[in-house]
Amino acid sequence: MGSARAQVGEHLPEAYAELADLSGILDGVLDARTHLLVKLRASVLNGCAFCLDMHSHEALAAGVDTRRLALVVTWREAGDHFTEAERAVLELVDTVTAIGERGVPDHVYAAVAAHFPDREVVALITAIGLINLYNRLGIATGMTPPLR
């Protein structure tokens, strides 16, 4: 990126605070590992280095196996490293993130609904939308991962 870009947290902190509140609500509904899986996969798809770094760091701190973390990129080919429910969630993330003109096919929705109650299905869709917004904010404002 050329010159420094305006940051949401600096110029519109009240919006960032609202997004954080929404994330907290979702944390109360979704299993932490499932929520992390959503954040990781969408960040991979969107190419958001800042969010991918942050959520990878969180996943490692939460004890997520490094192999599973790496395999999020190629989850379809990862075999039994992801449960049937996790594969349904990952497919939903892929579909909603690239929603375009196709929408969310009934079979994708049904696969998730077979494993989660309606409240969690809605929370998953909301979490996917939220991380997509965070990814877009991070990329558009030129956020880069900190050196660790």
User: Could you report the per-residue pLDDT of 116-128, keeping only the tens digit for each?
Assistant: 999 999 999 999 9
Judge contact between 114 and 27, C-beta under 8 A.
Answer: no
Compute the radius of gyration of the chain from its Cα atoms: 15
**DSSP per position, 72-103:** GGGGGG-GGGS-HHHHHHHHHHHHHHT-TTT-
User: Could you report the per-residue pLDDT of 22-40, keeping only the tens digit for each?
Assistant: 999 999 999 999 999 999 9
Q: What angle is formed at CA 100 by the lines to CA 94 and CA 103, rounded to 5 degrees?
A: 75
User: Could you report the per-residue pLDDT of 50-63, keeping only the tens digit for each?
Assistant: 999 999 999 999 99
State the residue for tokens 């969107």.
Answer: 46
Judge contact between 97 and 121, C-beta under 8 A.
Answer: no
Give backbone dihedrals phi and psi of 94, rounded to 5 degrees, phi first: -60, -45
Total-model pTM: 0.94
Judge contact between 36 and 58, C-beta under 8 A.
Answer: yes
Task: Give the C-alpha separation, 3 to 77, whole Å.
Answer: 40
Judge contact between 131 and 47, C-beta under 8 A.
Answer: no
Q: Is the pLDDT of residue 1 over 60?
A: no
CB half-sphere exposure, 61, CA atoms < 13 A: 8
